[in-house]
Structure 1
């Protein structure tokens, strides 16, 4: 088993990280329902895995934000000779993954404060997890735990994600209902200014269609992604839901109500020591 430093969500979440506590709680509650509603997440994870090179024989692989473990087990299948570790902020997710896939190593911890020693991993993978973190801090930690020449293959979200839902809520009240993310250019600049070397960085829109607003909201709850920076939005009264439904109808297509995600697919590596 890979040696690591003991850590927990409680230790990692300092007072200024109250949002992370809410994220961890929401995702823990969603552990048993997540996979049923994870169509977008599965699609993005599959595209992200295309960045994993097949000509490498890594000894240690880390999945950041491993969730229920279904993507982690696929990564393990890609590198059957490797010792694969899945890490998630939500203890409930880590426990669920451990119960489903006991053959892998699972732990709970903060991506911004990884509980691993320096130069431990050959490959770090992450799909739709680091958007909840400071990208600067993520890159610092990934650089620290990667071996020289190691690879970081990831996907994250950019500005414009869920713009339909944000605009519809804007017709209901002035409160915050949808998370904001940094722009593609700002995130690319952040990577370029880091100690990691950029290999590829591209933006792609991924859209999921829903038959109704209620199904959309149910899926978001099932996924645990209904965390926003400030909980000022009040009770979900029938009147507010009806207003949201009416506002969202302007986006309807033949496929249904769209919910778009601006997804960044990136690959960076830690330079070799010369």
Structure 2
């Protein structure tokens, strides 16, 4: 996935003010990810209580309160590369807001018990971020994250493909490839699964507007740079029609991928970069 990093940062920074009112999918993904953390923390054969939690790509800090509720003695580092997103987080004595890039996380090696990340990885170079996460986590520490899978926005991708061959929709890494990458980098007990979530809208314009309002519009460096003309938008709507529901709504499917992995309790070294 070829993405322009500065464009992604600018998009999410611009979306910070209206992010919470539009990010319905992010809220749903957060709840489902927390359920998986709950299982490891309270229901597994080896329950854990993390002292230091890194919420990587925290956005406006939705995860902070539920994480503190579950782990009241923990210290949470709410990390995001957008200062505008971090500015939305309410001050708390156990929460430290830190502006940092997921590709070079500003934390000490082996300092994190739980890495928590909700719908951030899809905007990153996955290998570099996994290496940084592995460096940051303590031996025996856990990573729990969500990201977008390969079937995300397949309706929009199909509709655009009938118009031209330019990359109008971001492409995302399949769940099995993410799991394989985590294993290659030395993570243990890797579990990856996914599910489809369908959002519905009144029009194609509403789909595109919603993506823009959460900073998730197309950022591929080979994308078309011009505005979508009325004629092209009319064609796009026509090709999207085949997906319209019986209720007359436009669906947008998102593949939500969950990845859980553990850093070996014997791993006290730094991760090495793997060359393809």
Q: Is the 8 A contact 2:183 2:190 kept in 1?
A: no
Q: Is the 8 A contact 2:121 2:147 kept in 1?
A: yes
Structure 1 residues 111 and 253, CA, compared in 2 at 3 Å: closer, same or farther? same
CA offsets, 1:90-140, max 9 Å, x none? 22212222xx34542111111111111111111110111011122222221
Give matches, 1:245-256, under 5 Å: 245-255=237-247, 256=249
- Unpaired segments of 5 or more residues in structure 2? 268-276
Shift, 1:38, TM fit: 1.1
SS in 2 for 1:51: helix
Q: Following TM superposition, where does structure 1 have runs of at least 4 consecutive aligned residues deviating by more than 6 angstroms?
A: none
Task: Tell me the distance in 1 between the aligned counterparts of 2:162 and 2:245.
Answer: 20
Shift, 1:46, TM fit: 0.9
Q: Is the 8 A contact 1:121 1:147 kept in 2?
A: yes
TM superposition score normalised by structure 2 = 0.87
The one of 262, 266, 276 equivalent to 1:269 is 262
Correspondence for 2:32: 47
Task: Tell me the distance in 2 between the aligned counterparts of 1:82 and 1:208.
Answer: 35
Correspondence for 1:7: none
Task: Tell me the distance in 2 between the aligned counterparts of 1:128 and 1:216.
Answer: 18
TM superposition score normalised by structure 1 = 0.88
- Unpaired segments of 5 or more residues in structure 1? 1-16
SS in 1 for 2:87: helix
Correspondence for 2:80: 88
SS in 2 for 1:58: coil
Q: Is the 8 A contact 1:61 1:124 kept in 2?
A: yes
Shift, 1:73, TM fit: 2.5
